[in-house]
Structure 1
Amino acid sequence: MPPPYRQLALPLPVADGCDLADLLEDASNAEALAWLRRPESWPAGRLALFGPAATGKTHMLRGLAARRGWPVLPGLTIRGWPAVPAGEGLALDDADCVPEEAALLHLLNLCAERGQRVLLAGRDPPARWAVTLADLRSRLRAMTAVMVHPPGDALLSALLRRHFLLRQLRVERGVQDWLLARLPREAAAVAEAAARLDHAALAAGGRVTRALARAALVELPGFGPDGEEEDAPPFRDDGFTDGPTLL
């Protein structure tokens, strides 16, 4: 008897643009998105997004940069006298990780001279960054900063559905609720879970079930312990019905 058929899982790219209009909004990010929609109103042309890891700061930063045509600079690369691309503005991710204070001060001063807007993202508000240069400290303290909070239930549910839709992965609503009750409450964890489930479903040649999800996500950091799965409370998202919705 021939061995059972198994579909080969290929690392195909998933289309997931960073356009600002595609970002999902809830109470956790509404204030930040409101500011991002009107860069012309930023005091002194600068805005900083801050908050815990995996709350969507980088996605929002890249979304605005893509819409406005701004370059995105990674903070860890800013050293010496950095080359700052000319243009309307620029975005600096992990701005609190710039290894040289003088390099960040030069970047901010040069953008101010040119009239370029600057969007920064980091874990803490700029006023609390540990800097020693007095000029840099004063500029950071004067900067408008907006917190991005951990996502709420409705946003996490919508994110999971979006990732499944992008991957053309059909998942029953009951399985989605079961997953959301056990996944870490982070956008990055939801995205990683969807990727692992997609790979596992392709390899198995079947649909996403609780058993497949348990096996595929057992090594995902923060996923609910197997011994507590059946007793865990269901994930609630009052914006949708309890029926067996398929994507």
Structure 2
Amino acid sequence: MMSGAPAHRTARQFALPLPIATSCARADLLEDASNAEALAWLDRPETWPGRRLAIFGPEGVGKTHMAHAFAAERGWRFLEGPSLRGLPAPAAGGTVLDDADAVAEEPALLHLINLCAERGEGLLLVGREAPARWKVALPDLASRLRATTAVGIGRPGDALLAALLAKLFADRQLRVAPEVQAWLLARLRREAAVLAEAVARLDRAALMAAAAVTRPLARAALADWEGFGEGADDDASETFPAAASPPMPALL
């Protein structure tokens, strides 16, 4: 044993790849003004004109999570546009097609739309823009896309982001002070995927340091990551007033 080593030093802990449960339950979809209309439509697939609906919005607003939750709840199969080729087989109940505006083969999408219509099966298309604006070469496909009811999803509001961050920490059983969460929210990109990645990085950092998630730890763990930006007060004292706990949006 080396002399002079402090007897109270805590052994360094190494982060293990612990499995984290990712829920796709409908009740775990947090609602605010940005997604309320889309969630309302997803709750009533029997009212979709022609049994077909599209939800669209920019990257990072939770479209894929919403689509997975809907497919899991309804028992519909989940497909991805870039992998859609050939003649898709019929599916009992319905089909969710994520990244539908990036299909590998346009005839495959046209066949899927026609097949679902003929069999009376539901079809949910997910993309970044409304289907009427997708750049497609097949006239028949363009016509069917223009006839598809579409509802947009906007950027999440502050309350929704705060509730999501709190839930992500809770899922990993991390207790993080409300003021530290507020500090993080002011510096992280306003995207669900970015919040999830930030929480994963902080979880690993806390395990490695055998310490709680604090402002200094978070700054060190996220400093070189593109999803995190420093604020104007980052050279100030580490003491700051505690932020009030954010209101939780309604859970449907």
Structures share fold, TM-score greater than 0.5? yes
Who is 2:193 aligned against? Answer: 188
Deviation at 1:171, TM superposition (A): 0.6
State the one-letter code of the partner of 2:230: P
Query: Contact 1:178–1:235 (CA<8 Å) still a contact in 2?
Result: no
CA distances 1:57-103 after superposition (whole Å, capped 9, x unpaired): 00111111000111100111111223x24211010000000021111
**2:136 paired with 1:131:** yes
Distance 1:200 1:239 in 2: 25
User: Which residue among 5, 8, 14 is the counterpart of 2:14?
Assistant: 8
State the one-letter code of the partner of 2:120: G
Who is 1:243 aligned against? Answer: none
Who is 1:59 aligned against? Answer: 65
Determine helix, strand or coil for the equivalent of 1:18.
coil
TM alignment of 1:90-109, pairs within 5 A = 90-109=95-114
Query: Contact 1:157–1:237 (CA<8 Å) still a contact in 2?
Result: no
Query: Contact 1:153–1:237 (CA<8 Å) still a contact in 2?
Result: no
Query: Contact 2:90–2:116 (CA<8 Å) still a contact in 1?
Result: no
Deviation at 1:223, TM superposition (A): 1.1
Deviation at 1:48, TM superposition (A): 0.5
Who is 2:75 aligned against? Answer: 69
Who is 2:94 aligned against? Answer: 89
Who is 2:43 aligned against? Answer: 37
State the one-letter code of the partner of 1:109: N
TM alignment of 1:1-247, pairs within 5 A = 1=5, 4-82=10-88, 84-225=89-230, 229=234, 239-240=246-247
Who is 1:244 aligned against? Answer: none
Determine helix, strand or coil for the equivalent of 1:146.
strand
Alignment gaps of 5+ in structure 1: 241-247
Query: Contact 1:154–1:237 (CA<8 Å) still a contact in 2?
Result: no
Determine helix, strand or coil for the equivalent of 2:150.
strand
Size of the alignment, in residue pairs?
238
Distance 1:237 1:66 in 2: 35
Q: TM-score under structure 1 normalisation? A: 0.91
CA 226–150 in structure 1, closer or farther in 2 if over 3 Å, else same? closer
Distance 2:26 2:147 in 1: 26
Determine helix, strand or coil for the equivalent of 2:14.
coil
Query: Contact 1:89–1:118 (CA<8 Å) still a contact in 2?
Result: yes
State the one-letter code of the partner of 1:211: P
State the one-letter code of the partner of 1:38: R
RMSD: 2.0
Distance 1:28 1:238 in 2: 21
Who is 1:245 aligned against? Answer: none
- Identity %, equivalent residues: 61
